[in-house]
Structure 1
Amino acid sequence: MSPPPKRARTSSSTEDEAAAEAEDHPKLKQHETLWFEDGNIVLATDVHLYCVHRGVLARNSTVFKDMLELPNVGNAWNNEMESAVVEDSWEGKPKVRMVGDNDEDVYLLLMVLYDVGFYSDHKPTTLPTILSLLRMSTKYDFSRIRSEVTSHLERAYPRELDAMGERNFEDLFLNYDDLSSDYDLQLLVVAEQCNLKSILPVLYLDCVTSPMDTILQASRDLRLKNHQIEKLLRGHERMVRYAHEYGIIQFAPQQYCTMSCTKARGELLQNYVIVPQEYPVQALLEEEVPNDDDDARLRKAICKTCAKTISASLKEFRLQVWNSIPDLFDLGTWEDVRRD
């Protein structure tokens, strides 16, 4: 028996197909902002349908470019990462199912492509936006977006010691003071997944100077891998030791001095031990000047000879700590990091 002849598509049949598609996907709805009537491809998440432009996707993403240049676009297709599936059509337009992608991630990625003011590496944004754009730009090779996010992050997590004093997280994150205590650990997970090596040394440094309770809780909440937990614990222990050395170098130079100078340094060391300085290793690397009035008074009592000795010792110790950071986290040397 021969198959029945194909009917020509009519306006009513197209409407019928669209209605059938809607019945098959009752939970999906067109996105209010990112649905363009002149769009020629539909991206589908588990929440929304986004009608956008093939040319925009292909121009910015090598993954989409390769996928959309295939002769059978519109039929089922998986890329090597199983990240997107072109699985039939929607109202006559190829429909790409964004496998494993959160609806918010897809929305943020498309907003960067279609709204020039939505994200810039020169203005602060939210942590979820940074995490999302880093994940999606890496997964689909949106190289320009990944480059912008990388540049944004590198100002907060630099590769050069001279840049440590210029760190300003309020330039990176909106409402920085309201971020959760494990924000840097959240960023670490995504940065490692995306192989963003340039920020890892200083990011690890910030993570390991978190309170131990925060590190342990994050290891559970974020399901950190064993090798990550080992590096965090090892790094935390090293930073505690560095903090002790920092206090000794600042206030107990190996030399005898006048009674007033020795007494002032003794009181400063006692204060440092009893009321620990917050993030002392970062303070050392960023060359922060203590602003406590009592400490300032005591520091003035330190003689010029001891002050000069302390300054020279701290300069040497600062460089020692900085050079040790990449290797502490199995990242090689700073030259290796810059090369990557």
Structure 2
Amino acid sequence: MGHVDSSNLHKVEDLWYEDGTIILIAGTVAFCVHKGVLVALSPIFRDILALPKSPNNDTMEGRVVAHITDSGFDMTNFLRAVFRPGYKSLVRDTQQVSFPELASILRMAHKYDVPEAVAIAVDRLSQRFCAPFHTSLGRQVDWDDVQKHLDTAHASVAFDPADAFEALNLMRRINAATGPPRFPDRALAVALFYCCVAVEQNPRLVRSGAPRADGTVEELSDADLERCVRGTALLRQEVYDGVSRALMAFQDGYGVFKHQIKCPRQNGCQEDIKIHLAYVQLTECERTWGRGSVRDVWVWVAKRQPAPGLFGAEAWQKWMCGPCKKKFEQLLEESMVKGWDLFVANMSVSD
């Protein structure tokens, strides 16, 4: 106990107030902030900072020092949300924030019992972790467009699939707290989907785990690892099944809607669909989907890598008239949404 040497500490400049009344040290990171703000904000901080005046207290630059066990990264993001300009600013979706920053804020707000900040962070993450089929995103896009939309235009939370383990574990930790679950099943399912993408990109994550921004390694539970393995197989199969369902729906419903959409070829488009369903789709697509990515379940068929030759831009015009092409695109969209709903149901994410 006594004077703390500051030479080995990093003072966070924008969280070092000259009129601050207490110094917090997290690892090698130091903050000089206002004790009264933290005490009013959090009952946990109130207890931690209820330090009786004593010559045995650690001090630094004439102020009492409180040592906390959190990482400097987490505490920096949390205190910035509290003091600059306040966590309520996170309500505004137009203010972009990175997932690691928002995860830090949620983790600290949960630990230090700041319910309003928890609610705001949960709402923001829940918006980001939604299937793009339930947003205003146009579906005829590639993977980069899907991600850009969700990162910027939708909830403005920039997310890298490499952070998926942290996201899923954090959601489960919050849901395990007292009271009803805060994150809906669809958000957990999207986080699990991203875990599948991350493992596909780097299979070593299954054994080594994935590091957070502060270096802490996140590992999935055995149950979620099993879901990840099973989910990868389901997603790959769905890339194929989604197209197959749409082709079947077109063939089966053609006799009803051909007059409504005014197909100029009458039965010609239906006959072409039968040929492709019986031969091209069930051979080329079945062979191709295994070489694709689990992320293709969110990607428009013609934009997939590799894309089945059947769905190239020129191929559309060769085997389907304009009205039928539009109808088939509608059926394909509906099938993609159904496929995602089947994934959510089969994963039993809340069990």
TM-score band, normalised by shorter chain: 0.5 to 0.7
Counterpart for residue 95 of structure 1 = 65
| 1:168-247 → structure 2 map (5 Å cutoff) | 168-171=149-152, 172-173=156-157, 179=160, 182-195=162-175, 197-198=183-184, 199-210=187-198, 212=200, 214-222=202-210, 223-247=219-243
Contact 2:109 2:117 survives alignment (8 Å):
yes
In structure 2, how many angstroms separate the alpha carbons of the residues matched to 1:162 and 1:127?
A: 20
Pair 1:329–1:35, CA change in 2 (3 A): same
1:103 & 1:313 partners in 2: Cα distance? Answer: 48
Report deviation, 1:53: 0.7
- Could you tell me which amino acid in structure 2 is paired with residue 193 of structure 1? R
Q: Counterpart of 1:49 in 2: which secondary structure? A: strand
Rounded Cα–Cα distance in structure 2 between residues aligned with 1:245 and 1:169? 25
Letter in 1 for 2:43: T
TM-score (ref. length: structure 1): 0.68
Could you tell me how far 1:73 is from its partner in structure 2? 4.2
Q: List alignment gaps of at least 5 residues for structure 1.
A: 1-16, 76-85, 333-340
Aligned to 1:331: 350
Question: Is contact 2:74-2:108 (8 Å) kept?
Answer: yes
> How high is the TM-score relative to the length of structure 2?
0.66
Shift, 1:113, TM fit:
1.9
1:263–1:155 distance in 2 versus 1, CA, 3 Å: same
* Residue aligned with 1:38, SS: coil
SS in 2 for 1:57: helix
> Which secondary structure state, in structure 1, belongs to the residue aligned with residue 13 of structure 2?
strand
**Fraction of identical pairs, as percent:** 18
The answer on whether the counterparts of 1:34 and 1:52 sit within 8 Å (CA) in structure 2 is yes
Distance 1:105 1:35, change over 3 A: same
| CA radius of gyration, larger in | 1
Compared CA separation, residues 30 and 95, structure 1 to 2 (3 A):
same
Q: Structure 1 pair 131/153, CA: closer, same or farther in 2 (3 Å)?
A: same
Distance 1:169 1:113, change over 3 A: same
Which letter maps to 1:322? D
Question: Which residue does the alignment assign to 2:320?
Answer: 302
> 1:164–1:239: structure 2 CA closer, same or farther, 3 Å change rule?
farther
Q: Deviations over 1:112-154 (max 9, x none)?
A: 2222289744322334323322222222123343333323222
Q: Distance in 2 between matches of 1:310 and 1:43?
A: 57
Shift of 1:43: 0.7
Q: 1:157 to 1:219 in 2, by over 3 A?
A: farther
2:82 aligns with 113
Residue 42 of structure 1, CA deviation? 1.5
* Alignment partners' CA distance in 2, 1:170 and 1:240: 24
**Retained in 1: the 8 A contact 2:4–2:60?**
no
Aligned to 1:133: 105
Asked whether 1:155 is paired with 2:127, we answer yes
Q: What SS is found at the alignment partner of 1:197?
A: coil
Contact 2:24–2:32 (Cα < 8 Å) also in 1: yes
Amino acid in structure 2 at the alignment position of 1:315:
E
Do structure 1's residue 27 and structure 2's residue 8 form an aligned pair? yes
CA 235–29 in structure 1, closer or farther in 2 if over 3 Å, else same: closer
- Conserved in 2, the CA contact under 8 Å of 1:201 and 1:331? no
Give the aligned CA root-mean-square deviation in angstroms: 4.0
- Deviation of 1:59 (Å): 3.0
How far is the alpha carbon of 1:215 from its aligned partner?
A: 4.7
Q: 1:316, 1:220 → 2: CA distance?
A: 36
| Preserved contact between residue 108 and residue 129 of structure 1 (Cα < 8 Å) | yes
Give the direction of change, closer, same or farther, for the CA distance of 1:29–1:125 in structure 2 (3 Å limit): closer
Bigger relative contact order, structure 1 or 2 (CA pairs below 8 A, ≥6 apart) = 2
Q: What does the per-residue CA deviation read over 1:17-63, in whole Å, with 9 as the maximum and x for residues that have no partner?
A: 9xx6145x652354433222222222112213322112221233232
Cα distance between partner residues in 2 of 1:211 and 1:45: 32
Question: Aligned residue pairs: how many?
Answer: 292
CA distance in 1, matches of 2:280, 2:172: 43
Partner residue in 1 for 2:297: 281
Distance in 2 separating the partners of 1:92 and 1:307:
73
| Change beyond 3 A, Cα 1:87–1:109 | farther
CA contact (8 A) 1:249 1:310 kept: no
